[in-house]
Amino acid sequence: MINKQSTHTPIEVGDGAAIPHKDDSGLFTAWRIAFFGAIILCLFLAFGRSEQYLAIFKFVPDGILVTFKVTIGAILLSIVFGLIAGLGRISSNRLINGTASLYVEVIRGIPLLVQLFYIYYALGRFIRIPDILSAIIAMAFCYGAYMAEIFRAGIQSIPKGQIEAALSLGMSRRQAMQQVILPQAFKVVLPPIGNEFIALLKDSSLVSILAVADLLRRGREYASETFNYFETYTVIALIYLIMTLFFSKLISLMEEKLNDGH
């Protein structure tokens, strides 16, 4: 009899762009071709083709700004939601643990667009707040559930001996978590949070349905006025591609810096 012990490597698949690393020559080359190719194509369309493309590029910059506002605001708020829920997921208190787990399971089980509609219009029934702020809260509440699992996994990846050593030095469990565990966990979770940022950047296009004048909505407005749908959505797609590829490279550099620091 031969005992076969199988070892399985976890498969990690994210919703964001693939992160280019130098050790993956194929993906790294593809990133350079896609990124610089998209920039060159944008310049060619704006200055080498008809004036229609240049007019589109001039029409959408304010939408790009709104997209960044929603994305950055939502990612920061989702980190707060995720940290609270992540700590709740590892809590020994059954009520806190159950509440946090219920939040994660329910949110992860409902399509993002449905959640956006529900939260956006539910907020509107009780209090009138600006459309952008409503969109930020809705996106953050949705992504907070995914952030919770990232924080839970990050905290649990820290060896238990770390907190035991902190407790032996006279720290309370709360102090040990704040001063010892969380600082180490943040280094672990930064790369996956970066991936979520890219995914959120792309999903922010959904807020255009909520009367928020983001990049996609500005493109839709221009296309409905001029009926140049092909030209408009070509430009919108290229801008989104450049933004996601740019930030994926920043995340790659961040991961390399963190790895060098260990």
Question: Is pLDDT of 12 > 80?
Answer: no
pLDDT in tens, 107-138: 999 998 888 888 888 877 888 788 888 889 98
Q: Per-domain residue ranges for the chain?
A: 25-261
Range name among 4-18, 64-78, 206-220 with the lowest pLDDT average: 4-18
CA neighbor of 223 nearest in space, from 45, 60, 41, 47? 60
Pick 162 or 4 by higher pLDDT: 162
Residue with tokens 């949110």: 107
CATH architecture of 25-261: Orthogonal Bundle (1.10)
Least confident of 21-35, 45-59, 77-91, 206-220: 21-35
- 205-214 pLDDT, tens digit per residue, is 999 888 888 9
User: What gap in Å lies between CA 239 and CA 214, rounded to an integer?
Assistant: 12
Joined tokens for residue 50: 């008809």
> Does the pLDDT value for residue 105 go beyond 60?
yes
Whether this model's pTM surpasses 0.85: no
Rounded percentage of the chain residues whose pLDDT exceeds 90? 48
